[in-house]
């Protein structure tokens, strides 16, 4: 069954690049431009198998998004990966505590991204 991934990033080119990579390799992709829009989509019924989010975004950043998603009914076990330029250890640690599944620092090679997603989503 085709897995769905939600990409959250305020960079349109980043969303387009990752979306193209994932769709080319058999995934269905939805996207949101920031954490607030992503949360709204989830509350409206979007049920992705994985969330791939940037950290530094306007309106709601990635860490806040992780906190909110984990509190949402039905999303406690949804894997969330960050894909970010953020390199501070404190942010990484905070992400881990909030329940992020993994931390990826941009730029990530396409093959590596697919490999990580396959590890996190067995059967994809």
State the residues that interact with another protein by CB under 8 A: 11-14, 16-18, 20-21, 24-25, 55-56, 84-89, 92, 96, 100-114, 116, 119-120
Judged by beta carbon, residue 40 or residue 111, the one nearer another protein is 111
Q: Is 86 helix (H, G, I), strand (E, B) or coil?
A: coil
Judged by beta carbon, residue 24 or residue 72, the one nearer another protein is 24
Which residues, including other chains, have CB under 8 Å from residue 90's CB and lie 6 or more apart?
Answer: none
Q: Is 105 helix (H, G, I), strand (E, B) or coil?
A: strand
Structure tokens at 52: 């791939």
Judged by beta carbon, residue 46 or residue 102, the one nearer another protein is 102
CB of 44 to another protein, least distance (A): 27
Asked if 15 and 31 count as a contact pair (C-beta separation under 8 A), the reply is yes
């Amino acid at each position: 069954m085709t897995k769905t991934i939600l990409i959250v990033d305020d960079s349109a080119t980043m969303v387009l690049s990752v979306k193209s990579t994932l769709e080319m390799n058999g995934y269905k992709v939805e996207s949101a431009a920031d954490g607030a829009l992503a949360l709204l989509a989830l509350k409206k019924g979007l049920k992705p198998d994985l969330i791939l989010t940037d950290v530094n975004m306007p309106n709601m950043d990635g860490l806040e998004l992780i906190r909110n998603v984990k509190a949402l009914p039905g999303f406690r076990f949804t894997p969330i990966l960050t894909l970010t330029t953020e390199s501070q250890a404190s942010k990484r640690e905070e992400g881990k505590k909030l329940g992020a599944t993994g931390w990826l620092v941009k730029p990530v090679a396409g093959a590596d991204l697919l490999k990580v997603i396959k590890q996190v989503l067995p059967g994809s």
